[in-house]
C-alpha cells in the first residue's frame, strides 16, 4: 500500500511509527528540495 511505503520511508529509526522529529525531517527535506529547484532556475 502506498501509504505504508511512505510511512516506511519516513520512519528513519524503523520503530514502526513516524514521530514528530521524523515528520520535521520530511518537511525540511521538502523545503530544501523546493528551494534548490528555485535556486537552479528550474521553471515550469
Cα torsion 6, 9, 15, 21: sign: negative
Evaluate whether 17 touches 4 at the Cβ level (below 8 Å): no
Nearer to Ca ion, 16 or 41 (CB): 16
**Phi, psi angle pair for 15, to nearest 5°:** -95, 5
CB 32 to Ca ion: min, Å: 21
The least distance separating Ca ion from the CB of residue 12, rounded to whole angstroms, comes to 6
9 or 37, CB closer to Ca ion?
A: 9
Does 21 help bind Ca ion (rule: CB under 5 A)?
A: no
- The residue ranges that bind Ca ion (CB under 5 A) are 11, 13, 15
Amino acid at each position: 500500500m502506498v501509504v505504508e511505503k511512505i510511512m516506511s520511508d519516513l520512519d528513519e529509526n524503523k520503530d514502526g511509527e513516524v514521530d514528530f522529529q521524523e515528520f520535521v525531517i520530511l518537511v525540511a527535506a521538502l523545503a530544501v528540495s523546493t528551494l534548490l529547484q528555485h535556486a537552479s532556475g528550474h521553471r515550469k
